[in-house]
Amino acid sequence: MKSIRILILSVILTSFLFTGCSRTGSNHSNVDLGMKAIENNDYEGALANFEAAEKKGENAELIYRGKGLAHMGLADYKSAVEELTKALSCSNGHISDLEYDISFYLAVSEFRTGDMDSAIDTCTAILALDPKNPNAFFLRGKTELAKGQKDDALRDFNAAIRNNNSDPDLYINIYECLSDAGEAEDGADYLKSAMELTHITGFQKGKLYFWMGEYDNAKDILEESRGDGSDPEVVLYLGRTYEALGDESYAASLYKTYLEDNPNDVEICNQLGLCELDVGDYESALKAFEQGISVGDSEISQSLRYNQIVASEYLGKFKEASVLMDSYLKDFPDDEDAKREYIFLSTR
């Protein structure tokens, strides 16, 4: 895998032309259908479209990129790495936004497989060609933090901000990374800096108050930003704020009202399930998790599936939970907490 990253650099530095990969085919009809399927979370359908595109001789780079994205959607990051690497090998010697896009998805997939060194190498290759890319700096910092390289991570996080210092979400993402790594005190400094930004919306300020733990301030501002209640991010943050203030019932009502019109929002499904778990309504929690799982979106599927197992346990459905856990561990074999839980379930 490292060789392909070296080749990416070589494309620019030595004008090396990759071979062995057809870039013919101006007709992208099946590729377009595949990308549309991905937008609709139909990842298996997308793969079928990309297979059809291959048979029709459509653009190979776009096909492999699409396959990589579909495998990411299915949480099959190992296959995603393979397809995205193929996509990069189709470069004709000219690095465009497409190659940067593919490289970034490759780095994300490598991170998800636990191949931290490769993810760092890919981000480094991107930065060698685009030294002000904030996304690459952030992802490399996140990966370094996962490896315990805090100083390197902070250096990259600060570089990301230098190149994108007006986006409060970037500051929040950095805070979340540091907080998850047990470095919340360092992360709080980024939130304070974000609060000093001059161009910031009310909703963005509400989000910052939420992460700073100032829930009353967050509630007031988020309520003002609520509008007609159709913005999922506002609903999520407002609901989580009410949960933090101890009003889980009202938070659950917010989630349920939103899901009536948007039943496929997996993040809201998951949050509703967690809220129902907190109040002890395990049947409703299980229903919410299963609703989210049925959508098939991978970004949060691991959390949904694990929470489904927890809800099943609370309901005393130990046999069902054990079967679910066995399937879960086949897809996520590195989850140490799940392995310990599986041992518990096997004794029930």
| Among the four given CATH numbers 1.10.10.10, 1.25.40.10, 1.10.760.10, 1.10.30.50, the one describing domain 1-130 | 1.25.40.10
Question: Which of the four pLDDT bands, split at 50, 70 and 90, describes residue 96?
Answer: confident
Q: Which residue has the higher pLDDT, 18 or 330?
A: 330
| The domain defined by 132-200 carries CATH number 3.40.50.300 | no
Q: What is the pLDDT of residues 8-17, one digit of tens each?
A: 433 333 332 3
Sign of CA dihedral 240, 241, 244, 246: negative
Q: What is the token pair recorded at 253?
A: 């009502």
For the cut 80, the answer to whether the pLDDT of residue 340 exceeds it is no
Assessment of whether the complete model's pTM goes beyond 0.75: yes
Question: Which of the four pLDDT bands, split at 50, 70 and 90, describes residue 26?
Answer: low
Q: What is the pLDDT of residues 223-239, one digit of tens each?
A: 999 988 789 999 999 99
For the cut 90, the answer to whether the pLDDT of residue 124 exceeds it is yes
What are the residue ranges of helices labelled H in the chain?
A: 2-13, 29-39, 43-55, 60-73, 77-88, 97-113, 116-129, 134-146, 150-162, 168-180, 184-195, 202-211, 215-224, 232-244, 248-261, 266-279, 282-295, 301-314, 318-331, 336-346
Distance (Å, whole) CA 128 – CA 143:
17
- Residue 14 pLDDT: 31
- Which among 17, 4, 6 is positioned nearest to 94, based on CA atoms? 17
Three-state secondary-structure class, residue 229: coil
Give the residue-averaged pLDDT of 291-309: 86
Do the two domains 1-130 and 247-348 of this chain adopt the same fold?
A: yes
Q: Is residue 21 within 8 Å of 7, Cβ to Cβ?
A: no
Give the CA count within 13 Å in the CB-facing half-sphere of 24. 5
Distance (Å, whole) CA 119 – CA 113:
10
- Residue 302 pLDDT: 87
Cβ neighbourhood burial of 96 (10 Å; 0-12, 13-18, 19+): exposed
Under CATH, what is the fold of the domain 247-348?
A: 1.25.40
- Residue 12 pLDDT: 32
Q: What is the pLDDT of residues 136-167, one digit of tens each?
A: 999 999 999 999 999 999 999 999 999 999 99
Show me where the domains of the chain are located.
1-130, 132-200, 247-348
Residues shown for the chain = 348
Distance (Å, whole) CA 5 – CA 142:
19
Taking each helix axis from N to C end, the angle separating 266-279 and 232-244, rounded to the nearest 10 degrees, works out to 20
